[in-house]
Amino acid sequence: MKTREKVARIFEKIKKILVDELGVDSDAIEPSASFIDDLNMDPDDLAEFFTRVEDSFSQPDNKVEIPEKDSDNISTVQALIDYLQDIGVED
C-alpha cells in the first residue's frame, strides 16, 4: 500500500473520531491543525481523544498505546499521523 493512501486513511479515521465522538467542526480539521489552538480541545478532551484513537487503531494482534510522555508531545493532527505511522499502525 502506498504511504500517501495510508496517511489519507489514517487522517480520515482521526477526523471521524474528532467529528463523531468529540463534536469538532470538520472544516477545522486539517493535518496542520493544533488540537488545542485550532480545534479548541482542553486536556480532558485530549485524554478522551487519545483513548479513542488507541481503541480505534488497535488490532487483536497489535494493541495501540500512546503513553502520556508521548501524547504530551503530540500537538497537531499531523504529529499524531506521524506518531501512528512510526509505531507501525495499520489503518
Over the stretch 32-73, which tens digit does the pLDDT of each residue have? 999 999 999 999 999 999 999 999 999 998 899 999 999 999
Residue 37: inside a domain: yes
Residues 6+ apart with CB under 8 A from 59: 90
Write down the pLDDT at residue 20: 94
CATH number, domain containing residue 37: 1.10.1200.10
- For residue 91, tell me if it sits in a domain: no
Catalytic residue status for 42: yes
What is the pLDDT confidence band of residue 3, given thresholds at 50, 70 and 90? confident
- For residue 2, is pLDDT > 80? no
pTM of the predicted model as reported, rounded to 2 decimal places: 0.93
Euclidean distance between CA atoms 39 and 32, whole angstroms: 11
Residues 51 and 57 sit within 8 Å (Cβ to Cβ): no
Print the domain residue range for 52: 3-86
Choice among 42, 44, 61, 86 that is catalytic:
42
